[in-house]
Amino acid sequence: MSVTGTNGTELTAEVLESFDHGWAMTFLPDGRALVSELTGSLWLLDEDGSKIAEIANVPETEMRNQGGLGDIIIHPDFANNNTVFLSYVERDEADDTLSGAVVVKATLELTEDGGSLSDVTRIWEQSQKLKGNGHYSHRLAVAPDGNLIITSGERQHFSPAQNMDINLGKVIRVTTDGEPVEDNPFYGNGGIADTIWSLGHRNMLGVAFDGDGQLWVHEMGPKGGDELNRIVRGENYGYPIVSNGEHYNGKQFFGNHEDFPIYENPAISWTPVISPAGLIIYDGDTFADWQGDAFIGGLSSRALIRVEFVQTPLDNQGSGGESSTMETTANEAERYEWDKRIREVEQGPDGAIYVIEDKEGGRLLRLTPAAASE
């Protein structure tokens, strides 16, 4: 299958496999991969992207709207410790209408034809189980310093994003055992505040570090105002006080980011929305001209979106975070569309870009330059 970008760039998309609501993907050191399905399965794939078997002993979860099995990542030292991290949604035992996201670490015991999880240990959970089945976020990344980043959505309840006693609407930074990190910006205040890295977020379904160790997170806005944010220690990103979009009922926010410069500006925002899901900062050789660019999956936009970063004069001092005379902003460089919702984006060890389409029957595709596949 051939895909042509909005600037005329041609990609070859090779269909490798299909999934039942595929959600997240990560590669293993031996070239195999893991793919999670929202429905609760975790699949081991061989080097060519074909299913080998389901991983056994995965925590039980139930798909309801946006809830189910979520992210899967490996520890940086996986080759020696076989440690993985998973996120999923669990229901309240006393009230099935309440739910929240959980993160566990586990040991992945692999064989040639399958694998299973052992020593499954809960290390983090959303501080309140709430009604509704959306905006869990629960994307994961291990930072260059070895600590764990967790995105925690505001669960479509708005105000928790500004409440320091609740870990919803926040970017969380903890150790790989789930403990607060002492140089977190609010460490020493006690409780949940000790784990918060940034606040004022909505629904964050993509997290990645660039080559300089800078954390980037995108989030879905309401009706308009999807964002890609450079995450700065201790900063407030404004939701639900400010947004570059509006509420679905047409009600306006107090203002947009330009009206309230005390809140951190997005590097780029989109109206109409793209509904971002999945994020990588590319550093491979297969697309050498795109090293350092971001790739974002688009759900409602039905596209893979490439974003370039640029340095521009600083026009927003934020609310007390680090700043300099220049800031990194972003421009959309190109879209690659094939009329499918894109749920996940990953870079493979071969330098190709892998994407998973959303919903039942969503395909795993391997993207390469058209000339390289001829």
Question: Tens digits of per-residue pLDDT, 156-177?
Answer: 999 999 999 999 999 999 999 9
Give pLDDT, residue 326.
77
Distance CA 365, CA 358 (A): 12
pLDDT at 146 over 70: yes
Res 26 pLDDT > 70: yes
pLDDT digits (tens, 9 = 90+) for 278-303: 999 999 999 999 999 999 999 999 99
pLDDT of residue 249: 83
pLDDT at 315 over 70: no
- pLDDT of residue 373 exceeding 50, the answer is no
CA–CA distance, 98 with 43 (Å, rounded to integer) = 28
* pLDDT in the model for residue 2: 95
Residue 202, classed as helix, strand or coil, is coil
Domains (ranges, CATH) in the chain? 22-201 (2.120.10.30)
115, two tokens: 């694998």
pLDDT at 252: 80
pLDDT band at 371; cut points 50, 70, 90: confident
d(CA 355, CA 366): 7
Q: Which residue has the higher pLDDT, 156 or 371?
A: 156
Separation CA 356–CA 34 (nearest Å): 12
pLDDT at 324: 53
Q: What is the pLDDT of residue 189?
A: 97
| Average pLDDT along the chain | 94
pLDDT interval class at 101 (50, 70, 90):
very high
Alpha helix locations (H) across the chain? Answer: 78-81, 370-373
The fraction of the chain above a pLDDT of 70, given in percent, is 96
Query: Rounded CA gap, 172 and 214, in Å?
Result: 15
Whether the per-residue pLDDT at 206 is higher than 70: the answer is yes
Confidence (pTM) = 0.95
Q: Does residue 322 carry a pLDDT above 60? A: no
The CA distance from 328 to 216, in Å, is 11
pLDDT of 320 > 90? The answer is: no
